[in-house]
Amino acid sequence: MSGTSKVKRPVVIVTRRLPDNVETRMAELFNVTLNLTDKPYTKKQLIEAVKVADVLVPTVTDQIDADVIAQAGDQLKLIANFGAGVDHIDLKALSEKKIILTNTPGVLTEDTASLAMALLLSVPRRMFEGEKILRSGEWTGWTPTFLMGHRIQGKRLGIIGMGRIGQAIARRARAFDISVHYHNRTPVPHHIEEDLEATYWKNLDEMMGRMDFVSVNCPLTKETQHLLDRKRLKRMQPHAVLINTARGEIIDENALAELLEMNHIAGAGLDVFEEEPSINPKLLELNNVVLLPHMGSATIEARVEMGEKVLINIRTFMDNHRPPDRVLI
Ligand code: 8YV
């Protein structure tokens, strides 16, 4: 008889499809309900789930709001989020019910940073515009002035939020000879600042107006919602490019679209949006933006490692230990 079969298996409900081997391992370890259709849960389904699950494994597409949490049964002890960001979960309501929350930090850092860097390279060099023209059959051949963009090397990048992902972008930027600036609640440790030759700006407004590229890498919280409002966005230089791989709600998207349209800001590379999966129609009309469908961490490696983190968090919790990725509320 296997060790796991002696103990009662926890009821684990997973709201979306996860990589096959992660799901299979979950089936071996837990009394698991998988979502083979991969259709996002409705609010009603989420409520039904929290009424019966010992552990819920949601993703960014599930709004675990106060309403949902209020209806959770006493058996629900852990929410093991598949993802790093927890802005879709009402943390206050969770802590009042003494439900533990874990996430999956670290394993998606490098992939998200690589995608941010890809956007940072592709917008100033107008890669997607070129691709579109080529595919449409409209390309008539090389000319000296065709699709001129802007040089990347030697420019200044301002990173908003110098956590794991911000630092990983900074490392990549240094390799392209871009100088790194950053705004964070507090400066990063001195040795990191030195390694990255990074300049700290306490005042975000002051940084915004001096950068050639700005990358958003902070979590979405009450404080960072529309952190980049119209007034702040207007501080950007007209040749500057904005990259967002964090959360759409950090930027006032309407204002951004208008400023891009007026060429008040040269371009943007966006992987996240305010009303996912709906995209602001104004953005869709613009040529100076690259729009990606929230795919920062979409590598097989990251998604498997995220799943492994979820598994470890659940197992440690079930063994009455502190799960490694507990989000402190
Ligand atoms: C994930 C993300 O794909 O982890 C995050 O916070 O934004 C994404 O990269 C998503 O959250 C999975 O739930």
| Ligand 1 and 269: CB distance under 6 A | no
**Chain segment 51-71, per-residue pLDDT in tens:** 999 999 999 999 999 999 999
Both structure tokens of 198: 């990074």
For residue 213, CA distances in Å to 43, 56, 195, 210, 304 come to: 39, 39, 20, 9, 32
CB-based contacts of 328: which residues, under 8 Å, 6+ apart?
none
| Ligand 1 and 236: CB distance under 6 A | no
Q: Of 209, 246, 255, 260, give the one whose Cα is nearest residue 228.
A: 255
Q: Give residue 80's pLDDT band: very low, low, confident or very high (50, 70, 90).
A: very high
CB-based contacts of 118: which residues, under 8 Å, 6+ apart?
none
Given a cut of 90, is residue 286 above it in pLDDT? yes
Catalytic residues: 247, 276, 294
Given a cut of 70, is residue 4 above it in pLDDT? no
| Ligand 1 and 84: CB distance under 6 A | yes
Given a cut of 50, is residue 3 above it in pLDDT? no
CATH code for the structural domain at 11-106+300-318: 3.40.50.720
**Chain segment 108-146, per-residue pLDDT in tens:** 999 999 999 999 999 999 999 999 999 999 999 999 999
- Model confidence, pTM: 0.96
Amino acid (one-letter) located at 151? R
Q: What is the pLDDT of residue 6?
A: 61
Q: Tell me the sheet residues that pair with 80.
A: 102
Share of residues in the chain with pLDDT > 70 (%): 98
Per-chain mean pLDDT for the chain: 97
Q: Tell me the sheet residues that pair with 13.
A: 33, 56
- C-alpha 314 – ligand 1 centre gap (Å): 18
Range(s) within the chain of domains with CATH label 3.40.50.720: 11-106+300-318, 109-291
Amino acid (one-letter) located at 6? K
Q: Give residue 2's pLDDT band: very low, low, confident or very high (50, 70, 90).
A: very low
The answer to whether the beta carbons of residues 219 and 83 sit under 8 Å apart is no
Q: What is the pLDDT of residue 8?
A: 87
Long-range contacts of residues 320-325, Cβ cutoff 8 Å, at least 24 apart: 323/78, 323/80, 323/100, 323/102, 324/102, 325/102, 325/103, 325/104, 325/105
Give CA torsion, residues 152, 158, 164, 165, to 10 deg: -50
- C-alpha 227 – ligand 1 centre gap (Å): 20
**Chain segment 238-281, per-residue pLDDT in tens:** 999 999 999 999 999 999 999 999 999 999 999 999 999 999 99
- C-alpha 241 – ligand 1 centre gap (Å): 23
If you classify domain 109-291 with CATH, what class do you get?
alpha beta
What residue owns the CA closest to ligand 1's atom 6?
85
